[in-house]
Chain A
Amino acid sequence: MDISSVSDVKSHCVGTTAVVYASDYLNKLTGEKIERECRRQLAQGCRALVIDFADTQLVNSIGISILLGIIDVAEKNKAQVVFADVNNQTVELFDMLGLTRHVALAKDEQEALLTLSTTVSGFDSTPTVH
């Protein structure tokens, strides 16, 4: 698996799915970088996004707003979004605010990819480097 880093945001592609890694604190600065990376991946033809929150401790209000923006853009591109490896506190926050109505949650990246392989038509699990 090849992981590229564009504007400090790590990401890689598995077929037509982009996996984007969120940082430890999802705020304005880091959120906007993730948003840019997600938009870039969608523009390049990705049909699904996995945002990996394994390193994320906290998500603030701006982070929530930016995630909603990513969901919006993905919906417009008819792409699915899965949030992976989200800690309990953040899951509660996403639940409370209704984000989980628009995205699927997965235990980890592998589970996210597996979920998408069953739902995204034409899912290809061959890793590609962007």
Chain B
Amino acid sequence: MSNRLINWFRFASPHNFYPLAGRMIPVFWTLSALFGIAGLWMGFFVAPTDAQQGEGYRIIFVHVPTSWLSMFIYMVMATWSGIGLSLNARLSSMMAQALAPTGALMAFLSLWTGAFWGKPMWGTWWVWDARLTSELILFFLYLGFMALQASIDDPRRADKAGAIVALVGAVNVPIIYFSVKWWNTLHQGSSINLAKSSMAVTMLWGMLLMALCFWMYSIAMALTRVRTIILERETHTDWVKELPEVKT
């Protein structure tokens, strides 16, 4: 019985993880494409036109999933950083590093699509709403993490320094969110109500499918990036030199 259990620590070594990631990437790309097609079909053809917002609301099928993922990826990144720091696991730090650009992209897309949505709905590209502001700050935190890692030459030191930034940021994200929220409500009161009344079931499904699509995309991207990072950092090892894609 015991020999049928997978030894998860086996995959903590870049040498074993590299081929596994290679096999997982096509799976996640396929899932992403399937969920994407289904989600877009739901979003464009099945979901009804919103009574108040017209057709413009359909941007939420991109906006909401990217916002969710930007926050979720930060959490995952901080978790990997914490594991990397406490267990001194190289691969965990590499995962954190691989996730950061995707997270930053999601935060950026969320802000961008939010602006596109805000212009027709609120009549303005930007308001100092609590959610928008904390999303912007989250984007800054991603940039800080990436900038710090990029400017340290020694990869191990970059990993650890980045891990501390990610963890400090993770502690701060809720504080920032609530402070911005209270700041905003103290100033002008909540002028925008984001809560949608009785959202149609098809809309919700479209959104969930798109969220899954973006989720799978993020995993595929992170795995692709982590494979590149492994190759970069392990060029001196024999197993990398033996790889067919490196030999040619």
Instruction: State yes or no: do A and B come from one complex.
Output: no
